[in-house]
Structure 1
Amino acid sequence: MAKNDFAQITTPAGEAVYPKLRSTEVFDGEDTGKYVCGIKLSKADTDKLIQRIENEWEMAKKSPDFDGKRYGRNSAPALGFHEDKDGDIVFKAKTNAVIKTKAGEVIEKTMAVFDKKGKPMDEEMEVGNGSTIRLCMLLRPFYASATVYGIQLLLKAVQVLNYVAPAAGAVSADDCGFDVEEEFDEDNPPFATSEGADF
């Protein structure tokens, strides 16, 4: 299946989780070579996106690309999301920072990051945890083995609606056990509704 055939979706607004958009992700001390960004959505939007991804997987299984594929009895498709320690669903999208073409050419990519007005953000500005964002993603069906298959969320672009700078080693009031009163900001709600999403 060609990349142009992958379904493209744009999420509603949600909370950025461990974004690495200007430099690549480091996991267990090793550079993954990927730009990554997680997003947490409202419960209603989470349910809608899960349904959309599951539908994409069901369609992919019926396509010629998946003819004759076998699936382990106790296996399940990886669908690009997981439950965090607080019980929230986090969708994680990623893309390679370097592409090697069939001709052997090496192309370095930069991640497209836009502000709330649709203008490109300064390439020096790393987006921090807790920023309010939207993700543009491609849903890529894949099959590696009878136990490793599903839908990969390919990160295409990010829109930052409410910027939060990264804070190295910072702690929150909640981490320290302080009581925090919720405030509602009409101009920057923590989670927008699904208005503007395309799924």
Structure 2
Amino acid sequence: MNMNEGVITGKAMWCHLADTETFNGTDTNKYSITLVPSVEDMNNLMQEAQTIWEEFQETLKNKKFAAEPNMGSFREDDNGDVSIKFVTNAHIVTKAGKEIDKVVPVFDGAERPVTRKIKSSIGNGSVVAVAYQLFPYYNTSKNFGVSFRLQAVQLLKYVPYGNGQDASSFGFKKHEGAFDSTSVIDDDEEDTRSDVDVPFTDGSDDEDF
């Protein structure tokens, strides 16, 4: 069976690389990462997937197709940003009945394996390179296409989960004349800050979130 391999770089979203992803409280048995690459790289990737599907389709004789092929978890948001999700099963049972527990290797920029602490805390906005496989499949007339399989990750810029996020990362904008939190002195801090003309923040409020 034809299968393409490659590497694509972009911003990471929703990383599940040390532990498997859960959905509605249920373990999916899948490691995953969602990537936001450049428009050019995304177009090249989707063209690559389309080509490998067409080559695979030629080998399918007397197969029915009730829909368009599924090209992975491709998404486009309201801003026009596109993302693609790469996935791999954590626990595999081969046709021979052999059970295999799979891991997703994660390396730093110097090609060294990262610690589990780092692997489990890669936050949105980190820059990564994803090693992938494009694997064409046909299960039924409504379930066929190309899967985007996750092989390994190289961490090029590390943004720890929960850190490095500012208001703009959530889509908020600055509003002139709106509430300014520095104008309010907390009761717990009033005594120590009574001699300060201009209230200030030291960033400790971030811990509340």
Give the TM-score category using the shorter length: 0.7 to 0.9
Structure number with greater Rg is 2
Kept in 2, the 8 Å contact 1:15–1:39? The answer is yes
Aligned counterpart in structure 1 of residue 13 of structure 2, from 17, 25, 46: 17
Cα-Cα RMSD:
1.9
Determine the C-alpha separation between the residues in 2 that align with 1:16 and 1:69.
Answer: 37
Distance 1:48 1:39, change over 3 A: same
Query: One-letter code of the match for 2:51?
Result: N
Cα shift readout 1:58-90 (whole Å, capped 9, x = no counterpart):
111112xx2221101xx1111114224333221
Distance 1:106 1:124, change over 3 A: farther
Give secondary structure in 2 for the equivalent of 1:160. Answer: strand
Give secondary structure in 1 for the equivalent of 2:116. Answer: coil
Give secondary structure in 1 for the equivalent of 2:167. Answer: coil
Distance 1:177 1:62, change over 3 A: same
Kept in 2, the 8 Å contact 1:82–1:91? The answer is yes
Aligned residue pairs: how many?
A: 170
Structural mapping, 1:154-193, within 5 Å: 154-167=149-162, 172-174=166-168, 175=170, 177-179=172-174
2:83 equivalent to 1:78: no
Could you say which residue in structure 2 is the equivalent of 1:115? 108
Determine the C-alpha separation between the residues in 2 that align with 1:148 and 1:103.
Answer: 24
Q: CA deviation at 1:107?
A: 2.1
Could you say which residue in structure 1 is the equivalent of 2:54? 58
Determine the C-alpha separation between the residues in 1 that align with 2:5 and 2:165.
Answer: 36
Could you say which residue in structure 2 is the equivalent of 1:105? 98
Q: CA deviation at 1:154?
A: 0.9
Q: Mind listing any 5+ residue stretches in structure 1 that lack a counterpart?
A: 180-199
Aligned counterpart in structure 2 of residue 39 of structure 1, from 35, 39, 43: 35
Q: Mind listing any 5+ residue stretches in structure 2 that lack a counterpart?
A: 175-209
Determine the C-alpha separation between the residues in 2 that align with 1:117 and 1:85.
Answer: 33
Aligned counterpart in structure 1 of residue 83 of structure 2, from 72, 80, 90: 90
Kept in 1, the 8 Å contact 2:3–2:52? The answer is no
Q: CA deviation at 1:8?
A: 0.8
Kept in 1, the 8 Å contact 2:108–2:154? The answer is yes
Percent of residue pairs identical:
32
2:18 equivalent to 1:6: no
Give secondary structure in 2 for the equivalent of 1:143. Answer: strand
Kept in 2, the 8 Å contact 1:81–1:89? The answer is no
Aligned counterpart in structure 2 of residue 28 of structure 1, from 20, 24, 27: 24
TM-score, normalised by the number of residues in structure 1: 0.78
Higher relative contact order (CA 8 A, sep 6+): 1
Query: One-letter code of the match for 1:91?
Result: I
Q: CA deviation at 1:37?
A: 0.7
Q: Greater helix share, 1 or 2? A: 2
TM-score, normalised by the number of residues in structure 2: 0.75
